[in-house]
Amino acid sequence: MHMADALISPLVGGTMWAAAAGVAAYSLRKVQAEMDNRKIPLMGVAGAFIFAAQMINFSIPATGASGHLGGGLILAILLGPYAGFLAMASVLAIQALFFADGGLLAYGCNLLNLGFFTCFLAYPLLYKRIMRKGYSAKRILGASMLTAIIGLQLGAFGVVLETLFSGKTELPFSTFVLLMQPVHLAIGITEGLVTAAIVTFIWKTRPEILDRAAAGRQTGNVPLRQVLIGFALAAVLAGAVLSWFASANPDGLEWSMLETAGMTELAAPDGIHQALAGIQRQTAFLPDYGFKAGDSAENSGASRETNKGGTLQGSQEIIQGASQGTAPSESEAAWPAVSAGTSVAGLVGAGMTLGLAALIGLGISLLKKKQRPLITSVPGSGSKSLQG
Amino acid sequence: MPNISNSLYNIRVLEDLAAGKTYIHQLHPLVKLLTTVCYLTVVVSFGKYELSSLLPLLLYPVLIFALAELPLQPLLKRLLFMEPFIIGLGILNPFFERQPFALYGLELTLGWAAFLSLFIKYQLTVIAALLLIATTEMNKLAGALRLLKIPRLFILQFLLTFRYISLLMEEVVLIQRAYAMRAPRQKGIHISVWGSLTGQLLLRTYERAQQIYEAMCLRGFSGEYHMGGQSRIKIRDWTWLAGWILFLAAVRLYDLPEKLGLLLMGVVR
């Protein structure tokens, strides 16, 4: 359920980044407060363990399919929620950087979807409560299953919301939810089963590991409220700041919200659309390039309004930009009329742009080849150990 | 999820590439990180149906590939590997939006425009992130994060995780081989040994962590991680960043291909 950069808008990405950073900072403070230095390498290596364990194929009985470990829950169980969240943050960062599994701008979304819901909601509210009565194989199984399933359902729902607010795909809300939730129910069941199997094994062979993890947590037992308040504050603040910046972009949150609202049949009256559009035009500090300043913007806005009945204004602005551009002679043309002149110019320009990019690349490569000596040096392996 | 040897190979390829010595490799890691973030932000900030304005953004990966002397194949292969994901997510767009959309006189539907736009953005964002890591060593990237005031503890465990992935993956190779020899012709790990097999790996992990901790203590570890000398940000680094910000701003504000086309048509006429 790793989200890619292309699926999110800067506003959603930035807001989630801020919220994730807030949770991470809070976790760091908690971990530092309770920390014996021993836990640092354990956190690091536990993250690496998740990577390695993800490579193991578990065959699921009676289905012929195989599943993998996700990792958030086992990290929370072994390290406690704070250190577990941080270890998850490292895992996701490396997945994003080295495996293109989740984007850099979407990192905040991914960390919240995969780390926050499991470590800070499902784990303390479900797993810890159930396990308070003491360990038994059955209880471990029940607690792990429930926690993994709920955590993943929340995460999957997070993906749906973030995607919809970003407004990059046209999937209707209900379709998306119906696609995501059942798939992640199956994933959650596998996750729960594998986690329970591992925890049971550890409980039987090395119970002190679980005891130590549980003991370490006691000192860091903080009301969830604080985390949630900090989380909400960070998100609201970032959202407010970023939406000011994003007000120049037609794909900002306000547009996608309107679009989403349209999909779920909560259609806002035209008055609000127009008022918002007006506010957006006034507050935009970067004028949209499809418009001429002043009157013509109003005119072209109005003409498009009549064309499409005021739906999806944001998209129309873009279409306007794409098909008509800024050519002054075309500014009166009603959408979607396309002048042959501009479209040929656009085609030529696009071709030229790609050609130029290719030429620049090839030119530099050729120059470099000329300068380079015949014997190329082999790059060093770069795998220095941290232990030293 | 890719298999182990593939994953290990991928990490090593990227690490080897990052150890290069070209102009790009020598740029300050913080500047490279910031440029990448600006680039990603601009790419995803474009509207849902934007196509032609996105094209100039291709210049960035092309320039980095050329200047950093990176081989195309291993990086583009990574990109291809993830392709089904984005096609699966975007392909529904054409079914939901059937309003006409004109591109250079071609008749498209809005849905196809949205799909193509998403597809292009996906390629650009994924390749930009890969290019960052293919030209920046992990330790240097960690140094850049430190300059951004990311706490030491986090960076330390981030680096530890990264460093021990390959070690633990090698353990998994051993465990899986041992299992395969005792349980031939099985597709995956049987449910009866899910716990013990993965648990064994976990116990080895704990032992490894213990050894690491002892080794660190013997070398005087006191909770601090010292990055060593950080190079300073030079004028050429600032120029690189400023140049890209200017370029990105121009791409964001003007439809450059169309301007270029109009200019050219004007000249031709």
**Amino acid of residue B18:** A
Residue B66, pLDDT > 60, answer yes
Task: Give the span between the Cα atoms of B43 and B121, in whole angstroms.
Answer: 6
* Residues linked to residue B107 through DSSP beta bridges, in sequence order: B102
* Residues linked to residue B101 through DSSP beta bridges, in sequence order: B108
Kindly report, residue by residue over A166-178, the tens digit of the pLDDT: 887 777 888 888 8
Q: Is A376 on the interface with B (CB under 8 A)?
A: no
pLDDT: is A262 or B81 the higher one? B81
> How many angstroms separate the Cα of A121 from the Cα of each of A77, A82, A224?
13, 12, 8
Quick one: average pLDDT of B118-137? Answer: 92
Which tokens is A27 given?
A: 């976790």
Q: Which of A240-254, A344-358, B227-241 has the lowest mean pLDDT?
A: A240-254
Residue B100, SS3?
A: strand
Secondary-structure percent of chain B, ordered helix, strand, coil, rounded to 5? 75, 5, 20
**Complex-level ipTM:** 0.87
Residue A328, pLDDT > 50, answer no
pLDDT: is A6 or A379 the higher one? A6
Any idea which residue has 């009866």 for tokens? B192
**Amino acid of residue B213:** Y
DSSP A69: -
Check CB contact under 8 Å for B78 and A100.
yes
Residue B233, pLDDT > 50, answer yes
Query: Which residues 10-69 in chain B show a CB within 8 A of chain A?
Result: 10-12, 14-21, 36-37, 40-41, 43-53, 55-56, 58-59, 62-63, 65-67, 69
What would you report as the CA-atom Rg of chain A, rounded to the nearest whole angstrom?
Answer: 26
Kindly report, residue by residue over A99-125, the tens digit of the pLDDT: 888 889 999 999 999 999 999 999 999
Contact B93, A169 (CB under 8 A): yes
Check CB contact under 8 Å for B216 and A41.
yes
Query: Which residues 49-68 in chain A show a CB within 8 A of chain B?
Result: 49, 51-61, 64, 66, 68
pLDDT at residue A35 in the model: 63
Task: Give the span between the Cα atoms of B135 and B20, in whole angstroms.
Answer: 7
Task: Give the span between the Cα atoms of A21 and A23, in whole angstroms.
Answer: 5
Chain A residues within 8 A of B67 when measuring between CB atoms: 364
Query: Which residues 106-165 in chain A show a CB within 8 A of chain B?
Result: none
φ and ψ at residue A312, rounded to 5 degrees: 50, 55
Residue B249, pLDDT > 90, answer yes
φ and ψ at residue A67, rounded to 5 degrees: -125, 170
Angle ∠(A252,A99,A118) on CA atoms, nearest 5 = 70
Task: Give the span between the Cα atoms of A255 and A198, in whole angstroms.
Answer: 46
Chain B residues within 8 A of A104 when measuring between CB atoms: 36-37, 40, 125, 129, 132
pLDDT category at A267 given cuts 50, 70, 90 is: very low
Residue B21 burial (CB count, 10 A): 12
Query: Which residues 316-335 in chain A show a CB within 8 A of chain B?
Result: 317-319, 321-323, 325-327
In which region does residue A103 sit, left (phi positive, over 0), alpha (psi from -120 to 50) or beta (all else)? Answer: beta
Smallest Cβ distance to A352: which of B169, B195, B257? B257
Which tokens is A269 given?
A: 């009256």
Residue A271, pLDDT > 50, answer no
Nearest CA in chain A to B150: A25
Angle ∠(A23,A28,A32) on CA atoms, nearest 5 = 155
pLDDT at residue A340 in the model: 55
DSSP A192: H
Nearest CA in chain B to A346: B258
pLDDT category at B125 given cuts 50, 70, 90 is: very high
Q: Across chain B, what does the average pLDDT equal?
A: 86
pLDDT category at A197 given cuts 50, 70, 90 is: very high
Q: Exposure of A157 by Cβ count < 10 A (0-12 exposed, 13-18 middle, 19+ buried)?
A: middle
Smallest Cβ distance to B208: which of A45, A78, A353? A45
Q: Which of A88-92, A240-244, A348-352, B120-124 has the lowest mean pLDDT?
A: A240-244
Maximum CA extent, chain A: 80
Which tokens is A137 given?
A: 């194989």
B235 CA: distance to closest CA in chain A (Å):
22
Quick one: average pLDDT of B99-108? Answer: 73
Check CB contact under 8 Å for B56 and A171.
no
| Proportion of chain B above pLDDT 90, given as a percent | 28
User: A10: closest CA among A311, A329, A318, A241?
Assistant: A241
Which tokens is B196 given?
A: 């013990």
B234 CA: distance to closest CA in chain A (Å):
23
Quick one: average pLDDT of A238-262? Answer: 47
pTM beyond 0.80, yes or no: no
Quick one: average pLDDT of A313-334? Answer: 41
pLDDT: is A342 or B142 the higher one? B142
Q: Is B109 on the interface with A (CB under 8 A)?
A: no
Which tokens is A18 given?
A: 């801020």
Sequence-distant (6+) residues with CB within 8 A of A308 are A316, A335
Q: Is A94 on the interface with B (CB under 8 A)?
A: yes
- C-alpha count within 13 angstroms, C-beta hemisphere, residue A303: 15
Q: Exposure of A269 by Cβ count < 10 A (0-12 exposed, 13-18 middle, 19+ buried)?
A: exposed
Contact A155, A184 (CB under 8 A): yes
Residue A71, SS3?
A: coil
Chain B residues within 8 A of A91 when measuring between CB atoms: 161
Quick one: average pLDDT of A202-211? Answer: 85
Any idea which residue has 């130590």 for tokens? A212
Kindly report, residue by residue over A10-67, the tens digit of the pLDDT: 899 999 999 999 999 999 888 888 766 777 788 888 889 998 888 888 887 777 677 7
pLDDT: is A77 or A313 the higher one? A77
Sequence-distant (6+) residues with CB within 8 A of A156 are A1, A113, A180, A181, A183, A184
Nearest CA in chain A to B100: A336
